[in-house]
Amino acid sequence: MSNVLTAARPSIAVDCPIRVMIVDDAIVVRRLLSRWIGAEPDMIVTACLRTGRQAVDQIEECDPDVVVLDVDMPELDGISALPLLLRKRRDLVVIMASTLTRRSAEVSLRALSLGAADYVPKPEAVLDAATSVTFQRELIDKIRYLGRRRRIHPEKIAPATSRPVSILERATPHAEVDSFRLRPFASSIPRALLIGSSTGGPQALNSLVGQIGITMERAPVLITQHMPPTFTTVLAEHLTRVSGRSVREAEHDEPVVAGGVYLAPGGRHMRVKRGRDGLPTIALGDDPPINFCKPSVDPMLSAGAEVWGASGLALILTGMGADGTRGAADIATAGGSVIAQDEASSVVWGMPRSVARAGLCSAVLPLSEIAAKINRLFAGDRS
């Protein structure tokens, strides 16, 4: 019999515009972002600054909800300014803006561990940035989602501590409630774990992969994180270090085996298919974005449903939008099971909420409880 789960649901009240501070040493970029943000009816630019030092000095006077912080700047760069900003305003949402270079990817992922809410990759050439619809949409969407989240309960976002904290630590449940039904877990033991994540995903994955070593020994793990090229390369290296196991970007036609952890490379969709010998193999595709994402979670889950059927276990972690819902539906239809991260531990409860509201989940859990549940399921415990 299905259970009814009651979960927190945010109220999206935007009576006051989201206040945004832009910090970038390129005047052309500052003007471009200011024009984009200023054109949104629910946003206002409070300052356009050239250095991190100016941002730290003016943060209290300008009183922003969100800071878009460039990585490379003179005088005080983004990674150095970040902890100083959070020390002054623990509830501040900081979005790192970085180019698609390896160094910028490494700095951006490090910034997430220091308390940045998210990052947005920007084209290296100013002309490319000015004409990039993807860059503009991603920036505006992240400002809106994360800025609204801060507005709901700003007094609860930051714990009583003087150190910089990650946004996962600052996450909190909200007052209103939403209800959805849970499905029973599949009766068969899972043989593959398929994970989808987006905003907040790198932090969640860092926390998760180090705790599912038992599962990794028994089954393959496939991960699609919304990320551009280069960023996924660095993420794989980070996950390898925290898990003590090899995590790498998947390669086309490579076999999918127990103990393997396969990360969808940025800019390519990752699916799985049956090879000539009947064994599952990776299939990378260069087809158009799905749900505005490339890689997208949906094709990975849908393909996984075809290959593993009732033995597939899907996990939807924090992220904006609804990517993963169609694929999760295919997993459920095939008899497999779906777990979603709960709102309280999610940076943005978009993707997990979508699958939960669709009635596709067998459990909706805090991030701190997900690894133990997964390990029990792969050990044959359905309780």
- Tokens 């832009």 correspond to what residue? 22
Cα–Cα distance measured from residue 102 to residue 229, given in angstroms and rounded to the nearest whole number? 9
Let me know: does 57 contact 187? Beta carbons within 8 Å.
no
Q: Which among 70, 77, 174, 226 is annotated as catalytic? A: 226
Kindly compute the dihedral angle of the four CA atoms of residues 109, 115, 116, 117, in this order, to the nearest 10 degrees: 110
User: Encoding tokens for residue 9?
Assistant: 């649901």
Q: Is 383 a catalytic residue?
A: no
Q: Which among 323, 337, 345, 362 is annotated as catalytic? A: 323
Query: Any residues with CB less than 8 A from the CB of 209 and at least 6 apart, and which?
Result: 221, 239, 242, 243, 245, 247, 261
Q: Is 226 a catalytic residue?
A: yes
User: Encoding tokens for residue 44?
Assistant: 């206002």
Would strands 43-49 and 93-98 be described as parallel, antiparallel, or unpaired?
Answer: unpaired
Let me know: does 291 contact 323? Beta carbons within 8 Å.
yes
The contacts found for 211-216 with CB under 8 angstroms, 24 or more apart, are: 211/371, 211/372, 211/375, 212/371, 212/374, 212/375, 213/243, 213/244, 213/245, 214/375, 214/378, 214/379, 215/374, 215/375, 215/378, 216/243, 216/245, 216/259, 216/261
Query: Is 13 strand, coil or helix?
Result: coil
Cα–Cα distance measured from residue 31 to residue 351, given in angstroms and rounded to the nearest whole number? 32
- Strand ranges of the sheet holding 363-365, from the earlier edge strand across to the other edge: 247-249, 261-263, 221-225, 192-197, 312-316, 337-341, 363-365
Burial of 124 (0-12, 13-18, 19+ CB in 10 A): exposed
Q: Is 198 a catalytic residue?
A: yes
Q: Which among 98, 166, 198, 346 is annotated as catalytic? A: 198
Cα–Cα distance measured from residue 332 to residue 155, given in angstroms and rounded to the nearest whole number? 39
Would strands 269-274 and 280-285 be described as parallel, antiparallel, or unpaired?
Answer: antiparallel
Point out the residues that are catalytic. 198, 226, 323
